[in-house]
């Protein structure tokens, strides 16, 4: 509440290649909040690499990621057309740092990620392979799964548009409750039928004079 008015804040959760992620900068911040200290060492062999060590008290974890490993995993794109984010220089160095941190966190201290599955800058390079399910019946044609070809920016925009469309959806109308008096009120047709039945029953009963005549006739026949 701000000055008596409700304040609505929309938080966009990074959703990359089917997983919830956290940005690399936020991951480093989370490590520091948990008391971990980070040390990087850049390497030159195997296309370049990064060795990271995270330490807290007597606990210490070290791992290494090389550009060659990222290539074999398909993260960097085709060999003759490397992704811009993996271009030599600061881009590649940052990717290697986040990549090796991802390895350490997921292997040793996953609580740092919370509900996230991976670092966004790592998850956006996941390779979504085309798969063909096995045939279950004779002569059935295999179905090819759809391959995700959108870029990370397009997927972020799609998620933002979806959240916005959900916010703008009209609220469902709730039908008004019927009045109890109206529900218990007997329909006019039923009331008319009831009155008709009462009049028929009353007209079928003999009057007092007719009753005396009937009794006299019955007595005469008895004699």
Q: Work out the average pLDDT over 142-151.
A: 48
Position 21 pLDDT exceeds 70:
yes
Q: Give the relative orientation of helices 90-108 and 24-33 as an angle to the nearest 10 degrees.
A: 50
Report pLDDT digits (tens) over 147-184.
Answer: 444 566 666 667 777 777 777 767 666 666 655 555 55
Dihedral angle sign, alpha carbons of residues 146, 78, 102, 15: negative
Could you give the percent of the chain with pLDDT greater than 70?
A: 52
Report pLDDT digits (tens) over 109-128.
Answer: 999 888 888 898 998 888 65
Average pLDDT, the chain: 73
CA distances, 64 to each of 25, 52, 204 (Å): 19, 6, 107
CA distances, 136 to each of 72, 79, 140, 142 (Å): 33, 37, 7, 9
Q: Work out the average pLDDT over 202-216.
A: 55
Of residues 189 and 100, the one with the higher pLDDT is 100
Give domain limits for the chain.
Answer: 24-132
Q: Work out the average pLDDT over 181-190.
A: 53
DSSP, res 148: P
Strands (E), 44-184: 49-56, 59-66, 118-119
Instruction: Read off φ and ψ for residue 116, nearest 5 degrees.
Output: -75, 155
Report pLDDT digits (tens) over 46-73.
Answer: 989 999 999 999 999 999 999 999 999 8
d(CA 162, CA 13): 12
- Closest by CA to 141, choosing from 132, 130, 150, is 132
């Amino acid at each position: 509440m701000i000055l008596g008015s409700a304040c609505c804040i929309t938080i966009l959760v990074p959703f990359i290649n089917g997983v919830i992620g956290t940005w690399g900068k936020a991951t480093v911040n989370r490590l520091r909040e948990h008391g971990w200290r980070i040390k990087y060492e850049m390497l030159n062999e195997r296309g370049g690499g990064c060795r990271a060590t995270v330490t807290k008290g007597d606990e210490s974890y070290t791992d290494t990621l090389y550009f060659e490993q990222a290539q074999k995993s398909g993260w960097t794109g085709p060999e003759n057309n490397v992704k811009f984010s993996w271009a030599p220089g600061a881009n590649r160095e940052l990717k290697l740092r986040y990549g090796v941190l991802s390895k350490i966190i997921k292997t040793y201290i996953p609580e740092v990620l919370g509900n996230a599955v991976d670092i966004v800058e790592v998850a956006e390079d996941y390779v979504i392979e085309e798969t063909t399910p096995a045939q279950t019946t004779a002569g059935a044609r295999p179905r090819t799964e759809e391959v995700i070809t959108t870029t990370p920016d397009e997927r972020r925009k799609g998620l933002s548009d979806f959240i916005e469309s959900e916010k703008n959806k009209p609220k469902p109308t709730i039908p008004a409750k019927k009045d109890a008096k109206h529900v218990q009120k007997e329909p006019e047709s039923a009331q008319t039928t009831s009155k008709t039945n009462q009049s028929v029953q009353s007209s079928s009963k003999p009057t007092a004079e007719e009753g005396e005549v009937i009794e006299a006739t019955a007595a005469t026949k008895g004699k």
